[in-house]
Chain A
Amino acid sequence: MSEPRPTGYVGAALPRLEDERLLRGGGRYIDDLDLPGAVDAAFLRSTQAHARITSIDASRARELPGVVAVYTGADIAGRMDPLVNTEELRIPPGLEAELKPLVRVQPMPLLADDEVNYVGQPVAMVLAESRYLAEDALELIEVDYELLPAVLDPEEALTADAPRVLLDAEDNVGLRVRHGVGDVEAAFAAAEVVVSETFTSHRYVPSPIEPRGLAARVDPFDDQLTVWSNTQTPHRMRDHLAPALGRSPDTVRVISVDVGGGFGQKGILVVEEILIPFAATDLGRPVRWMEDRNENLVAGSHAREQVHHIDLAADADGRLLAVRDRIVANLGSRNMVGLVVPYNSLAHLCGPYVVPNVDIDVTGAITNTMFTSPYRGAGRPEAVFAMERAMERLAARMGIDPADLRERNLIRPEQMPYRTGMLDRRGLPQEFDSGDYPAMFERARVALDLPALRERQEALLAEGRHLGVGMAMCLEMTGLGPFEGATISVRTSGRIQVATGAPSQGQGHATTFAQIAADAIGVPIDVIDLVGGDTATIPYGVGTIASRALVTAGNAIHQAGGLLRRRILEAAATVFDTTADELGLVDGVIVRHATDAAMGLRELLLALALTPGGADSDGLVETSYFQPPNYATASSLHAVVVEVHTATGRVDLRDYVVVHEAGRLVNPTVAHGQVIGGTVQGIGGALLEHFQYDAAGQPATSTFMDYMLPTPEIVPDIRIEEISLPSPTNALGVKGLGEGGAIGPPAAIANAVEDALRPYGVVVRSCPLTPSAIRHLLRGAAIDQEEVTA
């Protein structure tokens, strides 16, 4: 049988199919779900960074009219185990054998019992007839804390005499891994130039505009537990919930609803997601919980905080001989997600460069802060900030243009597929499948008109204005395995349902996945209905995290669609009493070649039931799982022009170019929306966003008035220069691109700011580059210069 006829949806910049419903206010987000008889949950959270709970008295809360129940740690003791994210904490065998990483399992109590370890930790759960009443009841719960010393700084936490974050732990280490290649000591000894610097990535909150939430109901008729959630990983949630609640997974259904952004924060399991289904089970009533913004900022997972002590060794031409980096990652109060983020930092540190000798040592420190977990980029922005800042310092030291220095060190296209000599996150040899990095620099030079820009920079400087140019190049190994699946079926109506484990949080799957399916099957796109993340429609799944949905679910849909097409034609052949070769499927209609005979899919379904031997198995349904053989490595080069106002410390973005390569694009409109959206999140981190604690561990940025997101007027007109190199790792040739945009901006903007302030000799070691941070840098530079003169 011939390959499915390309109908040409893949690659087309179609408007999104989901938009009209969302524009009319017809979205179905978690808090829109009205479950009759439901009670609302609210959580009492720790007010202290580290304390012993000496007593909890919930009796007044329990007596409040409208309160249904109040659970404390004591009430659930022995009924459920503390939370351990087993999947994320698993060490791949290849890493275990080669690197012997230390990964401590530090279970999170569902409700704190005798100790709290960060502000925001759940201490009690109230269930009441309304959220208003539940929050009233929170006020009536009396908790006595005996304060304990708290440690917030990750490097301080690792010192021998630091207070213990967890009272019964031997130290404040959550994990440790070291990996490298070659002989770093010898390379440094032989180097012409060595640069040693410390660069820090600060603490972020992913901040989807819709906070986290879920609802759960146990059906009294069939004892089925249904959980509606804005999770990014519904199957993992089901597989965790079932044993946690002592149920068979067959009696648990998790349904992803419309989700108001995730960015990773909704991708890992948290205690609230176990407590709500538990309460629904225990009370025999539906239970809903919607996190509020204060909770999301304080007690929704944080991200990014890392310190890099990085050394580069180069020869006289600026070619890299070695990279050494000692990374300290702040894991927060527990090691919740293991190597996921730290190993991403490690594996992406050297980026697009040929580095013969590498030594990277990562320690995850635990501190009395909210735990950190993957957020768009997941370890890569931190690594790129360290590496690309260090490259900028190396260029400055050697008097080479930073773009030239970078280009000298790039992996060449003819070296692809390129093996770095390191192990990837799966514990297999790290290999970049495709890429043309020099072409990206060429595109950036042309787009910026770099020579003219440098002249303009000099001219403006003579007028006392400070223009700066910065670049940052980043790679992203996308399409994380182990698998994703798709079940595609012709439904009774003749419409086609595509079910996959990867839900959408705004990425436009209802359009892009339908484009893939329509092409593979040979039907018009408007007969396709996508179900993303309903565990009742497909038994296994992983979810939408790690820039993986398009690669894994997309290819599973492509495979299942091709199988379904064959299944349809073979079934139609029995009805027509011919062979499948005599038939075609065009725009959803089965035609018999050289005749007028034609049949729709609904007619086929009805005819099959009446045709002896017709359907031969389970009807017009096919399931396929795609297991990516390797990562599909996307790349991007961010090039930015800033103007720094030295009097006020204000940074204006004058131009922003993203040269982007992520394989074949299924829908350029959607793809570029992802790139721009990610880039603006990165701009937020570079200029505005910073989650801060005071010295006692009290959050200082618990509203959007303190944790400042980018707003519509500060964003420049980002220009995208697209390069497309289809990935050889999968049939569609796609690469993941959801996270990519967020990786480069902090490094690119910091490089540009440092370039703008070159006359002052400042070194940017961290973000956000707020006006006060810029003024601080300038004051520091003035003092340095005084010292030099003195």
Chain B
Amino acid sequence: MSDPRNMSAAPQATAPPLSEPSAWHDISCVVNGHEVDAQVESRLLLSDFLRHRLALTGTHVGCEQGSCGACTVLIDRVPVRSCLMLAVQCDGRDVVTVEGLAAGDDLHPVQESFRAHHGLQCGFCTPGFLMTLAALADDAEPCDEERMLDEIGGHLCRCTGYLGIREAARCALGIAAGPDGCDHTGVRHE
């Protein structure tokens, strides 16, 4: 059955609250490959713009202090904390969120690797890790364990204890596995 909606249409920004006192800016940016025009208040965080005005709620806000990494998105292909950036700073920039990672039915290799290696539990920090690792996967320079750890070192996960995430990252980035192969836990059953 065909979907009557125009699925290729750009996300439409909802109107800002009328009572917001700060100055207004008209911005144009590309979000997940779509042109977006919006009027934003000067103090609006990029994270709030994406989540509450574009309804792209896959970007999560964990601290608004720049320390947890959950809100990471790509700006011009560079991982950036969207809670530390203003929406107006995105004028003319290219933004990719977790919703833009998969190609239709096919998950991005980093997403696939997280699924294969139990790299997520509650899923709240996951989009941030995925964005940082997706940028790393797209980087032409080969990545080793040290660089991978350095990059994901800016992300906090409270559920997994990181072992599944590290293994997912290694497999997605082609970093040689440890002696346990891809079984990150080395669990031995009786």
Contact surface of A with B, Cβ cutoff 8 Å: 15-16, 18-20, 22-27, 29, 31-32, 34, 65-66, 129-130, 132-133, 136, 207-211, 258-261, 263, 292-294, 505-508, 668-670, 672-673, 676-681, 703-705, 709-713, 715, 717-724, 741
Contact = CB atoms under 8 A, between A and B. Distances in A.
B157 A209 contact: yes
A129 B15 CA distance: 13
Contacts of B51: 31-32
Contacts of A27: 57-58, 60, 123-124
A29 B158 contact: no
B33 interface: no
B20 interface: yes
A18 B185 CA distance: 21
A23 B64 CA distance: 22
Interface string B48-85: 00011001111111111101101000000000000000
Contacts of A294: 65
Contact of B57 (A25, A207, A676): A25
B57 A23 contact: no
Contact of B122 (A23, A66, A261): A261
Given A15-B115, A209-B62, A293-B62, A66 B160 contact: no
A133 B17 contact: yes
Contacts of A32: 51, 57
B173 interface: no
Given A15-B118, A712-B165, A715-B163, 10 more contacts: A19-B114, A23-B98, A24-B99, A24-B107, A209-B60, A209-B68, A210-B60, A260-B62, A680-B161, A720-B188
23 contacts: A20-B115, A24-B58, A25-B57, A132-B44, A210-B60, A210-B124, A258-B123, A261-B158, A292-B63, A506-B124, A672-B187, A677-B160, A679-B161, A681-B161, A704-B63, A705-B67, A711-B162, A712-B153, A712-B155, A712-B157, A717-B184, A718-B185, A720-B187
B17 A712 contact: no
Contacts of A209: 60, 62, 68, 70, 122, 124-125, 156-159
Given A209-B156, A261-B159, A24 B98 contact: yes
Contacts of A722: 187-190
A712 B167 CA distance: 11
B123 A676 contact: no
Given A22-B120, A722-B187, A715 B161 contact: yes
A22 B99 CA distance: 10
A22 B163 contact: no
B124 A260 contact: yes
Residue in A208, A258, A668, A678 whose Cβ sees the most chain B Cβ within 10 Å:
A208
B130 interface: yes
Contact of B19 (A66, A508, A677, A721): A66
Contacts of A681: 158, 161
Contacts of B93: none
Contacts of A704: 63, 65, 67-68, 156
Contacts of B68: 209, 293, 704
A263 to B, nearest CB: 7
Contacts of B63: 292-293, 703-704
A748 to B, nearest CB: 15
Contacts of A25: 56-59, 97-99, 101, 127
B158 A22 contact: no
Contact of B162 (A15, A668, A712): A712
Contacts of A507: 121
Nearest to B116: A15
Q: Binding site of A, secondary structure by majority: helix, strand, loop or mixed?
A: loop
Contacts of A720: 185-188
A263 B153 CA distance: 23
Given A705-B65, A719-B185, A65 B153 contact: no
A530 to B, nearest CB: 15
B135 interface: no
Contacts of B41: 132
Nearest to A505: B122
The 3 closest A-B pairs by CB, nearest first: A25-B58, A506-B122, A260-B124
Nearest to B125: A209
Nearest to B70: A209
Contacts of A18: 123
Nearest to B110: A23
Contact of B126 (A22, A709, A723): A22
B30 to A, nearest CB: 18
Contacts of B149: 712-713
B161 A677 contact: yes
Contacts of B38: none
A668 B187 contact: yes
Nearest to A211: B62
A34 B51 CA distance: 10
Contacts of A670: 118
Contacts of B64: 292-293
Interface string B34-49: 0000000101100000
Nearest to A208: B158
A23 B161 contact: no
B20 A715 contact: no
Given A26-B58, A709-B156, A717-B163, A506 B20 contact: no
B47 to A, nearest CB: 10
Given A23-B120, A505-B122, A677-B121, A715 B17 contact: no
A7 B184 CA distance: 28
B87 to A, nearest CB: 12
A199 B152 CA distance: 35
B127 to A, nearest CB: 6
